[in-house]
Structure 1
């Protein structure tokens, strides 16, 4: 890397030249030319936004426009070299550098951004649109993205996906660290949405446990997507980052690579993830699949999980609640139950001759795979009425929460709401009352935003 002069801006910035290693350093000239053309074309603004997110890794803001406003002149260029690429950074955040050298972990995340966005532009471009018209094609695309990111390892099952909010209390955060510590002592690796809060805590706890157990080949996987990464920049512990094209492929990636799932307290994004998974597990073809699912938090979070449980039973029925267990205030028991559950997953995969590193056996219907664009019309037309099959209702409930997530943290949706007012959500009176109560609780408990007053991006119509 070559160090440049700091620009005279409000915050210190750096000009730098970086030569990627691993995955981007052994390329043909044709591949480099395609990567350069993709980064200079329609994806350049996306590349700039995602690169800025990782260069400000550890930021406490969840406003997707904050980093852009702080570093308005930042730019990134991918330049062709013989058999490789060079990344030029102009007016990059100085916080990503130490004594003129880019922090190694930040550099790795930056390379991951270039790798994944280039893969999307080249391998999932318009000429391959027909391949994404079927559920099988979408799953193959998810597999290809994960394999290209070197996420898929043919080793014994040990990957725990941890879901939870980016805006949680201090006690809840410490609890996620304790659970991560107990998981790490048992040789389990961690996968999260890569951001702060409940996405960082389990990784942080696991690092200490892995060090005590002298485990060096450890994985802290962060799975994100372009619309979220700017608001939830990767936490510093992530050592494997993968950017999926949209939220649906991100959710499928979690389910395909995870061997067990733990849900910590969170907000609408966490509710979206729970509904996505339960809707899939409630399908008849998935009823027999072992996949441990534990909802857990400190003792003070007991009312939170009681409310989540009531909402799930009201909307999806007791069958949905039977697919998870709630453990409050006991990190050791959480880790023990998860370890036993993953052992059952291993035995099942062996019996079914399914891979350990990618769950091919689980059936994910196309309605769960198709990207949902949360426009005002799409949100108002969601079919949230009793009497529908639970998997279908779960799919639309998931979309409702996904739209609220977008309204909270995705710049495009925020602009729609600023122009046209809040999204409206319609449905059965009882269901809408329960939904409204749940969302109000999230607001009152400050689970929507990290800082500042929250202005709802939605309106529940009862």
Structure 2
């Protein structure tokens, strides 16, 4: 039930909706936590995540834009004898059709409430346990299981990484790769936003329709700092909100059976470094996990520069864990299908589950949240002489800090108050890093629109 509010500068509605399925009931304690507007409560987080979902499809990557457009928006979760009621105040009218909330938007909204309610209780109850590596992995398992994403089916889930700000040729190419994957019965998991996160889902959706596949999964994995800047794209039909970027990254690796990387910016570089940091560890040397970097012909120089940066910093050994395929969507899909077959055989041989990658060793230093303060960014150890996986971990943190300065409210606020983050290390590393970042800026991979103002300074 919805009614339009004409007093706002943007079209808004007030609505009352009743969740179903996994949100039939919440405990009184869960509801109380979601309503708690104090500094330690979850209401502000709920409001920001809900607004991001209700503006699904937005072209902006400014986390403050939606809040400025809908300053009066609020959400209340109410417990009733017969279930849960969600009340929306001054909600974006774009989420409604003829007074009814769009069904897909409603499902994503329920996912937000579900994940934050689970976080409010489960995480607090096992806070001490989560301090070690096994506890954090169990926490991630619990969140994914609560979201009903752990399905004991044959491996077929391909994670697609890439930038939210890509050009039209790259978008169409990513869509073609998704189409080829879909024809081969593969589902898609991305960071849930626009650009390279939407395109493969869109292509797979068409292919699944051609193959008359009706139970397809288009999974979006996000976290509170990102979702406001990268609202879920309309194709996502399973959304899960992880507590932080590190748990988001681990979720991709635990849930997926292989990863394809399309052109992107600092967030994509962060993801590549995270995964290579894991794959280059001795404990993971024999764990198959296909990783393909791909794009159209015009993007070949982009991948050459990424490849050169990885060789310089991590060594030639890093290149053995990925392959680069240019301008051949069908070959990408064939190579990924072959890689997933090896994953399946390995899981059977080692009695590992198809739906959660327990075999991958992910140490605590890859799991602990990195808070990109100016002090933390300046103290990153980006020097020669370190083990490749250790250097990869700190390089990942450097890129993570730039992502925060670009699109996350906390990071943007720090940069506005104290100036750009400073990054320093070995001179040749810094020259290569500066060149890579300047290329991202020149290719407009940092922002969807508007003039980009760097949030970083590379000290060469």
Scaled to the shorter chain, the TM-score interval is over 0.9
- Separation (CA, whole Å) in 2 of partners of 1:33 and 1:456: 45
The answer as to whether partners of 1:194 and 1:233 remain within 8 angstroms in 2 is yes
Residue by residue over 1:252-304, the C-alpha shift from the partner in whole angstroms, topping out at 9 and shown as x without a partner, is: 00000100100000000000000000000000010001111000000000000
**What is the rounded CA distance, in whole Å, between the counterparts of 1:348 and 1:458 in structure 2?**
42
* Alpha-carbon displacement from aligned partner over 1:128-168 (angstroms, at most 9, x marks no partner): 22011100000000000000001111000000000000000
Aligned counterpart in structure 1 of residue 244 of structure 2, from 246, 251, 255: 246
Residues 1:282 and 2:280 are matched in the alignment: yes
Q: How does 1:205-284 map to 2 (within 5 A)?
A: 205-284=203-282
Aligned pair partner of 2:169 in 171, 174, 178: 171
Q: 1:2-401 counterparts in 2 under 5 A?
A: 2-25=1-24, 27=25, 31-41=26-36, 42-125=41-124, 127-401=125-399
State the alpha-carbon separation in 2 of the partners of residues 437 and 87 from structure 1: 49
Checking the alignment, whether the CA contact within 8 Å between 2:4 and 2:11 is kept in structure 1 is no
Measured after TM superposition, the shift of residue 402 of structure 1 is 0.2
Contact 1:32 1:83 in 2 (8 A): no
* CA-CA distance at 1:83 after TM superposition: 4.5
3-state DSSP class of the match of 2:381?
coil
Shift of 1:121: 1.0
Distance 1:428 1:394 in 2: 14
Indicate the SS of the match to 1:85.
strand
What CA distance in whole angstroms lies between the structure 1 residues aligned with 2:322 and 2:367?
23
Deviation digits for residues 96-116 of structure 1 (CA, Å, limit 9, x no counterpart): 000000000000000000000
Do 1:173 and 1:197's aligned partners in 2 also have CA atoms closer than 8 Å? yes
Worse overlay, 79-88 or 157-166: 79-88
Cα distance in 2 for partners of 1:146, 1:84 equals 23
TM-score (norm 1): 0.98
**TM-score normalised by structure 2 residue count:** 0.98
Choose 78-87 or 158-167, whichever is displaced more. Answer: 78-87
Structure 1: any 5+ residue segments left out of the alignment?
Answer: none
What does 1:413-452 align with in structure 2 at a 5 Å threshold? Answer: 413-452=411-450
Q: Does the residue aligned with 1:460 lie in a helix, a strand or coil?
A: strand
Distance 2:148 2:407 in 1: 28
Q: Give the CA deviation at 1:5.
A: 3.4
- 1:411 maps to 2:409: yes
The alignment's C-alpha RMSD in Å is 0.7
**Cα distance in 1 for residues equivalent to 2:4 and 2:244:** 37
Q: Is the 8 A contact 2:273 2:392 kept in 1?
A: yes
Query: Which consecutive unaligned segments of at least 5 residues does structure 2 have?
Result: none
Deviations, residues 68-92 of structure 1 (Å, cap 9, x unaligned): 0000000000001114211000000
Shift of 1:34: 1.4
**SS of structure 2 residue aligned to 1:358:** coil
Cα distance in structure 2, aligned partners of 1:360 and 1:383: 30
How far apart are the structure 2 equivalents of 1:256 and 1:72? 38
1:189-208 CA distances to partner (integer Å, 9 max, x unpaired)?
00000000000000000000
- Does the residue aligned with 1:321 lie in a helix, a strand or coil? helix
**CA–CA separation in structure 2 for the residues paired with 1:47 and 1:210:** 33
> The residue matched to 1:129 in structure 2 has which SS?
coil
For 1:198 and 1:88, how far apart are their aligned partners in 2?
Answer: 33
Render the CA deviation track for 1:394-426: whole Å, top value 9, x for unaligned: 000000000000000000110010000000001
**2:112·2:241 contact (CA, 8 Å) conserved in 1?**
yes
Q: How many residues matched? A: 456
Cα deviation, residue 40, structure 1: 1.1
Inter-partner Cα distance in structure 2 for 1:55 and 1:242:
15
- Helix, strand or coil for the counterpart of 1:310? helix
Contact 1:285–1:363 (8 Å) recurs in 2: yes
Q: Secondary structure at 1:334's aligned position in 2?
A: helix
Deviating above 6 A after TM superposition, structure 1's stretches of 4 or more consecutive aligned residues are: none
